[in-house]
Chain A
Amino acid sequence: MPEIKVTPLGAGQDVGRSCILVSIAGKNVMLDCGMHMGYNDDRRFPDFSYITQNGRLTDFLDCVIISHFHLDHCGALPYFSEMVGYDGPIYMTHPTKAICPILLEDYRKITVDKKGETNFFTSQMIKDCMKKVVAVHLHQTVQVDDELEIKAYYAGHVLGAAMFQIKVGSESVVYTGDYNMTPDRHLGAAWIDKCRPDLLISESTYATTIRDSKRCRERDFLKKVHESVERGGKVLIPVFALGRAQELCILLETFWERMNLKAPIYFSMGLTEKANHYYKLFITWTNQKIRKTFVQRNMFEFKHIKAFDRAFADNPGPMVVFATPGMLHAGQSLQIFRKWAGNEKNMVIMPGYCVQGTVGHKILSGQRKLEMEGRQILEVKMQVEYMSFSAHADAKGIMQLIRQAEPRSVLLVHGEAKKMEFLKQKIEQEFHVNCYMPANGETITLFTSPNIPVDISLGLLKRESAIGLVPDSKKPKLMHGTLIMKDNSFRLVSPEQALKELGLGEHQLRFTCRVHIQDPRKEHEMVLRVYNHLKGVLKDYSVQHLPDGSIMVESILIQATAQSEDQGTKVLLVSWTYQDEELGSYLTSLLKKGLPPTTA
């Protein structure tokens, strides 16, 4: 039985990283290659020894697919490709390819330069890794090799995030990565067609949540900003160069307009070239509808939002500043933070996850005394808030996606099976599919029944369709032929053709049966009697009385033989080929029942 195997790499119940191995029709694919952000040692990397105990992984994997740029999905990629060893193709979308190396480099800097760790990938390794990347477009079918093809679908979630369909022949698997089913301001909702994969693999981290509406989360953000500004405080919002920041800017801009607020809002551009580059990337990634929104407003043409100058940080009075980088680990945002941290009227709003070791992570963990360079202690009196705007699918979203894709089975990763039985039952009952929940390190094997396409020879098709009534397009039609399996191809041909190809002669089997008929009259009278009888009974068949005295029913021959010993008994010989077995047997039993009495 053909099978699909799925193994989420990792150990125990830890949820921190994504790295899933899929084996489909003999092809091995690795889905995502994430770093576990909670560990400081080798446990942060997936255990690739599962794939092979020794040597490079190129021979064992047909390709690697990365769903989006979050570090828990791509953080281990350079380690995997350069330190463990993999030279095959790595697929991801264009924005992911552009943004991944930035985040990886940032992460490397924090881990190596700031924390002084050693067993980590280098800048060169990141560059070498990215050289192996093949960027794909949405809905573009990419042939990895003769048999394996992949296709990316829009996933929402973050810029460049995609869901991937992996197909070999008629077997397919869809991997969702992280996605959301409710649209954002600048990102739409995930979408997939009714591709009916054998298996849908989905993250289940948020499957057991019911999410507060986007608007209420935005409302919370506005409230916090407003309250701070009202009391004369300064609000710092560390952001990554593009994406969520855009949305927050539009939100604040409109709010300021409506409430007629006067406090200045600044946006610190950081590295301008990079920002512009992402901006362009962003525009081509989304569709017409989104594009229009941004064409009308250049990122730096807000009415209330101005470009930041570092001198402004010392201005008195309330203000709001968006500054990079997002985790407060260096640059502008950290500088501003240091100036404002001592005043309890001020506020910092962290809009995303922060890597361990960064100032952002420390203050989110509750640390209020930070050791900065030169052993200086910084006391953090400003309010620290966290705002999660990241979009994930909840239970409702997962159900929606399953409804869209119509998979035959569902597999949920990163959930604790005991705590997800309700969801499993829900999915199984609503969609009548199997729902699997492997633990990390556990392999699930699915059996599929793929359709096997077979070429039928034209001659055979014509011949078969000529027999019998006009075929009903809605009903399966039974055909007879010979199946030849040769060199990975399947063909259906006529038996004669098959014999010819095999160089065999055709043998004919002919059966002859003797039927005794009680009839004292002459032979030819009896034959006539038989003929009339059969003609009357077998109305749908061709019954012929041949000039030589024999009867033909279709291709079955009935002859009267020479006299038997008994004058009153005549003998009929019924003769048919193997192909006419059914009719032949039927005729024989019919004749054995005897002939109807003749009218005088």
Chain B
Amino acid sequence: AVGGLGAAGLAREGEERFCHVTPWPLGGARWAGMAAESAEDWLLESLRLYNDLHVFELQEPTRVIEWIGEKSVCVAGYENSRRNEILQLLLPQKLYVKEKQGLCPERDFKVERGGFSDRPVYSLRHVPDTSLLVTSGPPDSSLQVWQLAAEDTDVIKCASTIPTGNDSKKPWTKIATTLARTPCVLHGSRVNNVQITEIESKKNIYTAASSISDEVSSLEFLDCNTLLACCVNGQLCLADVRQPQSPLGDASIPWALSGEQWCMGVSPGVQGSDVNAPAIARLSSGGQLTLTDLRNISKLLKSARCKVSAASPSTEFLCVSWAPVLDGCLAVSGFNGTVHIYDTRSWPVSGEEAEPLFSHKGHILSGMDNGGGFPLVTTHAWHPWKSRMLLSAASDGSLHVWDWAESHKNS
């Protein structure tokens, strides 16, 4: 009898070096191993759980996924000890065509462009409507500006460096970009060094007038005139760029949970007209999720607890983001090898544990041969218009694109 998709259990034989066969799905003689079995099970289950599923293996893991338009994403390595690659990947055609254009046979990413970075890339942002990328990462707080488009080459070149004037001992710089008349970048590592710098001239057009030295975990433009910072301690700070010297607003934290570290996700819809939806989601290293309305950032609208078995060891990879299409849906990752989708509209008010609408377990279960480690999801990103599609990356180099099937509860 043949068990599972892995065919007969074959004992490893002596070196008959004829052709190098690594039995699928894992190397070596583990045909009938446990891991193989569960990978098989998951794959068969995935037929029911997902409309679409793609599993890719990058040569180096990434902790950034940044959309360039609606057809490409940028990823980059974060190794300390060697050169890292920045890649611009074109999605498989099926995933970006809007009308059914006949057959789209290819399921592969195309590396449109690539570049080399001497430092690890911890943060990467695209300046909308330009061909510029901004990155940041250790060993210091400066920003690197990259040029994507070039007629005669596919190499992404480093165009310039923006020094931020921050002490290099401070934590690495967070960055944010927005559509503006002149390309600029919002950056900072602590509330009192948040600035907006014009990329071409390197001139500072806004500096936060604040004495708060708390470390910043997330920075966002709410629109080209309003910025929002989330501190590691959970505090939110708001400022209007048009009023220079306006202090980065101080919002108190009524429910301060000491010891936990926070990051935030801002609903993209807030830049539009829908002012009714809560715009700001904050996620803590202990799994707390809180929702706050822009109009009253010191008040908590709703909160819940994520379904995670253990607190995240660090906030390095904590990531929370709003769905661009599905109202009220959030994606959460960074605790382990899964990505959870929560529907905030169905949360109980009191802060209890919420049941995820869906849990993507592919990074743990798809059976990549990682030498037995437990991958950690480093980042995720929603597809701009396919309502249930996300991209997620993990510490083992995996990159998944998945579209979960509606009204299927995770078993």
Contacts and interface: CB of A to CB of B under 8 A. Distances in A.
Interface of A: 138-139, 154, 156, 182-185, 187-191, 208-220, 222-223, 226, 250-251, 254-255, 258-259, 286-290, 292-293, 296-297, 364, 366, 384-388, 394-396, 399, 418-423, 425-426, 429
Contacts of A364: 103
Contacts of B110: 208-210
Contacts of B16: 287-288
Nearest to B46: A219
A463 to B, nearest CB: 43
15 contacts: A183-B20, A185-B7, A209-B110, A210-B89, A211-B56, A212-B107, A213-B56, A215-B24, A215-B366, A216-B54, A216-B107, A254-B4, A292-B10, A396-B57, A421-B155
B47 A226 contact: yes
A210 B109 contact: yes
The 8 closest A-B pairs by CB, nearest first: A188-B21, A422-B114, A191-B20, A154-B19, A287-B18, A212-B107, A213-B55, A188-B19
A420 B154 contact: yes
Interface string B8-28: 101001001111111111000
Contacts of B113: 422
Contacts of A216: 53-55, 107
A445 B142 CA distance: 44
Contacts of A223: 47
Contacts of A189: 19-22
B353 to A, nearest CB: 32
Nearest to A257: B2
Interface in B78-122: 83, 85, 89, 92, 102-103, 105-116
B116 A399 contact: no
Contacts of B108: 209-212, 394
B397 to A, nearest CB: 10
A422 B111 contact: yes
A418 B152 contact: yes
B111 A289 contact: no
A542 to B, nearest CB: 57
B8 A296 contact: yes
Contact of A422 (B18, B43, B46, B155): B155
B103 A154 contact: no
Given A220-B107, A386-B103, A429-B116, A213 B7 contact: no
A210 B92 CA distance: 10
B55 A212 contact: yes
Contacts of A139: 17-18
B5 interface: yes
Given A213-B56, A296-B2, A422-B114, A290 B107 contact: no
Contacts of B112: 208
B89 to A, nearest CB: 7
B153 interface: yes
A217 B105 CA distance: 10
A289 B23 contact: yes
A208 B110 CA distance: 6
Contact of B10 (A212, A289, A388, A396): A289
Contact of A387 (B18, B89, B105): B105
Nearest to A258: B44
B289 to A, nearest CB: 31
Nearest to B59: A396
Interface of B: 2, 4-5, 7-8, 10, 13, 16-25, 39, 43-44, 46-47, 53-59, 83, 85, 89, 92, 102-103, 105-116, 152-156, 366-367, 399
A215 to B, nearest CB: 6
Instruction: Please classify the interface of chain A as helix (H, G, I), strand (E, B), loop, or mixed, using the class held by over half of its residues.
Output: helix
Nearest to A182: B22
Given A215-B366, A216-B55, A297-B2, A185 B24 contact: yes
A259 B102 CA distance: 30
A213 B57 contact: yes
B115 A422 contact: yes
Contacts of B105: 386-388
A395 B114 CA distance: 12
A67 B153 CA distance: 32
Nearest to A206: B108
Contact of A210 (B13, B47, B58, B116): B58
Contacts of A184: 24
Contact of B59 (A209, A218, A250, A399): A399
A187 B19 CA distance: 9
Contacts of B8: 292-293, 296
Contacts of A222: 47
B22 A293 contact: no
Given A211-B56, A287-B21, A254 B5 contact: yes
A216 B43 CA distance: 8
B83 A429 contact: yes
A588 to B, nearest CB: 59
A292 B24 CA distance: 15
A138 B111 contact: no
The CB with the most chain B CB atoms within 10 A, among A182, A289, A394, A423, is that of A289
A186 to B, nearest CB: 10
A213 B58 CA distance: 11
Given A182-B22, A395-B111, A396-B59, 5 more contacts: A184-B24, A185-B24, A208-B111, A216-B54, A288-B13
B21 A183 contact: yes
A185 B24 CA distance: 7
Given A189-B22, A425-B155, A429-B116, A209 B109 contact: yes
A425 B116 contact: yes
B227 to A, nearest CB: 34
A229 to B, nearest CB: 13
A286 B107 contact: no
Contact of B102 (A212, A218, A366): A366
A396 B342 CA distance: 36
A159 B8 CA distance: 21
B23 A183 contact: yes
Contacts of A396: 57, 59
Given A209-B109, A226-B47, A426-B85, A191 B19 contact: yes
Contacts of B102: 366
The CB with the most chain B CB atoms within 10 A, among A187, A208, A259, is that of A208
A364 B114 CA distance: 32
B56 A212 contact: yes
A421 B24 contact: no
A188 B23 CA distance: 8
Contacts of A386: 103, 105
A215 B43 contact: yes
A258 B47 CA distance: 12
Contacts of A425: 116, 155
Nearest to B21: A188
Nearest to B22: A183
Contact of B103 (A251, A293, A384): A384
Contacts of A287: 16, 18-19, 21
A191 B2 CA distance: 28
A261 to B, nearest CB: 12
Given A138-B19, A217-B107, A418 B153 contact: yes
A139 B15 CA distance: 14
A419 B154 contact: yes
A255 B8 CA distance: 16
Contacts of A190: 20
Nearest to A296: B8
A289 B106 contact: no
Contacts of A429: 83, 116
B225 to A, nearest CB: 38
B103 A289 contact: no
A250 B154 CA distance: 42
B18 A138 contact: yes
Contacts of B4: 254
B22 A395 contact: no
A162 to B, nearest CB: 10
Contacts of B43: 215, 218-219
The CB with the most chain B CB atoms within 10 A, among A185, A212, A293, A385, is that of A212
